[in-house]
């Protein structure tokens, strides 16, 4: 049985060119990049080249690129690194959104619980878009950080990052303590403008395994004027912001993955996604799109199917060799309805009936047709099994 993968928002396969670039740095070029001898300097040369590639992609200076173990660490470094600077100086205020990834939400909630910060959680509209004015009206005299994700990891909606940064910059005029702006851009890397100067962000997180690179590597862009307090000690690596021996193979993989982004088949993915949505609507009654269809990355379909549990459909499709998701992979162990879908006003039933279908460049029309072919009878079967209201 052929297996079909429609869960690229959870992780992408490693591009063969990325794997080829990484391979020598596991066994042949194995030196510690911090060592001064030729073995170490050979490895450091590869790290420097990867850093330059990421800096070129983000259109920033190389010293502003900090390699991390992934976007979760990058988000933690950004948020905790800012908050730690203000510890002991009174309680400060952070603004984020109600539908952030847990790497942001759980971090601010932990700081809140510890008494370090106060937090405001801004809700998106029913279309899955954050309104700039909703951010503006929550800014206080003691606000130190705004953190808004670039693309939502479940529903794929694109947030107005530049407009928010413009608003924050205006509010900063005359303020003694400037508000910093961070964006979790993990889901945006393949599809959106990532030039940090044009976006106007101070901090930006991204991850290797969402862009056809390896797992276990990420990047935090830190604007040169921004001073963070490191969240781990044990060395002065990464310009003093991230202690620990540099992971040369994965850093090389991150650099190569970023370099290949401009060659990705984005238009093909968007056409497949649009055709798939048309076919799903034609074949399955009571199917509803979650989030705006236009302000959305081109590979994402998040839908609710009335009268059916999304998890049952996921498991049924998996038995047919087709992989999809019911939400973010980081929340898949939870029995609670998606906090993202609840934040845009869905009922518990609608949220529990959600499916996230995310395409990649290796998917084709026949695989989309197979998904519709297998999903349609599954929906009918589970609806027929559901207890009637009178029962």
Active site residues: 330
Asked whether the beta carbons of 181 and 146 are under 8 A apart, the reply is yes
Q: How many residues does the chain have?
A: 391
Report DSSP letters for 15-52, one per residue. PHHHHHHHTHHHHTS---TT-SSHHHHHHHHHHHHHHH
Single out the residue of 335, 277, 381, 264 nearest to residue 8, CA to CA. Answer: 264
Single out the residue of 187, 125, 121, 180 nearest to residue 150, CA to CA. Answer: 187
Cα dist from 95 to 104, 132, 144, whole Å: 11, 12, 8
DSSP 8-class letter at 366: H
Cα dist from 246 to 42, 77, 234, whole Å: 13, 16, 13
Provide the sign of the torsion angle of the four alpha carbons 326, 327, 330, 332, taken in this order. negative
Cα dist from 278 to 147, 287, 302, 359, whole Å: 35, 11, 13, 15
């Amino acid at each position: 049985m052929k297996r079909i993968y429609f869960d690229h928002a959870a992780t992408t396969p490693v591009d063969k060119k990325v794997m080829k670039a990484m391979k020598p740095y596991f066994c042949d070029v194995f030196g510690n990049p911090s060592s001064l001898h030729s073995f170490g300097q050979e490895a450091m040369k590869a790290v420097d080249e990867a850093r330059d590639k990421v800096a070129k992609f983000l259109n920033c200076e190389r010293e502003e690129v900090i390699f991390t173990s992934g976007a979760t660490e990058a988000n933690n470094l950004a948020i905790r690194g800012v908050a730690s600077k203000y510890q002991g100086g009174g309680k400060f205020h952070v603004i984020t959104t109600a539908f952030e990834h847990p790497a942001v939400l759980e971090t601010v909630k932990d700081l809140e619980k510890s008494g370090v910060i106060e937090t405001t959680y801004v809700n998106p509209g029913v279309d899955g878009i954050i309104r700039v004015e909703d951010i503006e009206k929550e800014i206080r005299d003691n606000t130190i950080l705004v953190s808004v994700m670039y693309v939502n990891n479940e529903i794929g909606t694109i947030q107005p990052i530049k407009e928010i940064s413009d608003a924050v910059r205006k509010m900063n005029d005359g303020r003694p303590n400037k508000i910093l702006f961070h964006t979790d851009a993990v889901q945006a890397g393949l599809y959106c403008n990532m030039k940090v100067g044009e976006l106007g962000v101070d901090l930006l997180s991204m991850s290797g395994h969402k862009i056809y690179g390896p797992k276990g590597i990420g990047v935090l862009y830190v604007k040169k004027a921004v001073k963070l307090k490191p969240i781990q000690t044990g060395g002065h690596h990464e310009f003093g912001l991230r202690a620990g021996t540099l992971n040369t193979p994965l850093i090389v993989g991150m650099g190569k993955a970023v370099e290949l982004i401009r060659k990705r088949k984005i238009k093909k993915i968007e056409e497949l996604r649009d055709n798939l949505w048309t076919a799903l609507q034609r074949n399955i009654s009571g199917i509803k799109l979650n989030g705006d269809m236009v302000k959305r990355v081109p590979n994402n379909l998040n839908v609710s199917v009335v009268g059916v549990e999304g998890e049952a459909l996921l498991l049924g499709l998996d038995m047919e060799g087709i992989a999809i998701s019911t939400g973010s992979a980081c929340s898949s162990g939870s029995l609670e309805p998606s906090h993202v879908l609840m934040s845009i006003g869905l009922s518990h039933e609608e949220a529990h009936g959600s499916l996230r279908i995310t395409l990649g460049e290796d998917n084709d029309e026949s695989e989309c047709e197979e998904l519709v072919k297998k999903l349609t009878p599954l929906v009918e079967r589970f609806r027929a099994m559901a207890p009637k209201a009178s029962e």
